[in-house]
Amino acid sequence: MIDSYRHKGMRRKLAVTIKNKGIKDQRVLAAIEKIPRHFFLDSSFTEIAYQDKPFPIGSGQTISQPYTVAFQTELLQVEKDEKILEVGTGSGYQACVLLEMGARVYSIERHRTLYKKASQLLSEMGYLPKLFYGDGYKGLPTFAPFDKILVTAGAPEIPEELLKQLKTGGLMVIPLGGSGNQLMTTIRKLSDTDFEKKEHGYFRFVPLLGKKA
Ligand code: SAM
């Protein structure tokens, strides 16, 4: 895997593009500028890996558009050492963005092939999140509670289990809706029974699916 000056240059431009689209958190922009996105894609995508677009990663799934990654990460208001659960590891790129911001990352993926691929790549790159193969609808009860939860696939409804596994005071970022567009939503857990919900515009995600594949 080669990360050339050319790749670095393309990354710098990508970070500027994302900044111009409204992302303000410098730590998010720094992570985008640092992480070699072309490592997460098939070599046939190397030339276009720094376009602000989603790309296929196999198993019918995608690596999200960098702007969407940045938008969700900014909404998550990541603080150093926070324990964050990501649902939908996919390529592992988003997990690396969270790690670059100092979070402790737990990420779950329902496709075994993607789980294995991300596990190998991230360890080769020196990133050490805790990765799991399983159904993100169920979260990770053994490791709960989490300070933050980030769902990176479109969910028809808020998974009850994930709300339970969020700390009081914690925040969830989740794209809500069926196939088509989803409404980016943040949910602050005020108590076991009180939640504050905010909406942040429409995005397009692959769907959150039940059961392991
Ligand atoms: N965060 C990923 C990245 O950085 O590459 C991109 C995520 S992709 C848009 C959505 C991912 O969610 C896919 O890899 C998909 O297999 C996974 N997924 C869908 N339903 C799931 C579920 N119930 N549990 C865990 N992962 C799921």
Ligand 1 pocket mutation, candidates 40, 87, 131, criterion most atoms within 8 A of CB = 87
- For the stretch 75-125, pLDDT in tens is 999 999 999 999 999 999 999 999 999 999 999 999 999 999 999 999 999
Smallest CA-to-CA distance from 15 within 39, 2, 41, 34 is with 34
Q: Is 124 left (phi over 0), alpha (psi -120 to 50) or beta?
A: alpha
CA separation for the pair 209, 137 (Å, rounded): 8
- For the stretch 14-42, pLDDT in tens is 999 999 999 999 999 999 999 999 999 99
CA separation for the pair 21, 10 (Å, rounded): 17
Q: Is the pTM of this model over 0.75?
A: yes
CA separation for the pair 116, 114 (Å, rounded): 5
Distance 168 CA to ligand 1 centre (A): 25
CA separation for the pair 104, 84 (Å, rounded): 6
Distance 5 CA to ligand 1 centre (A): 31
- Do 109 and 75 touch, CB atoms closer than 8 A? no
The residue contributing the CA closest to ligand 1 atom 11 is 88
- Ligand 1 atom with the shortest distance to the CA of 111: 16
Give percent of the chain with pLDDT exceeding 70. Answer: 99
Smallest CA-to-CA distance from 90 within 150, 33, 161, 15 is with 150
- What domains can be seen in the chain, in order of their start residue? 5-204 (3.40.50.150)
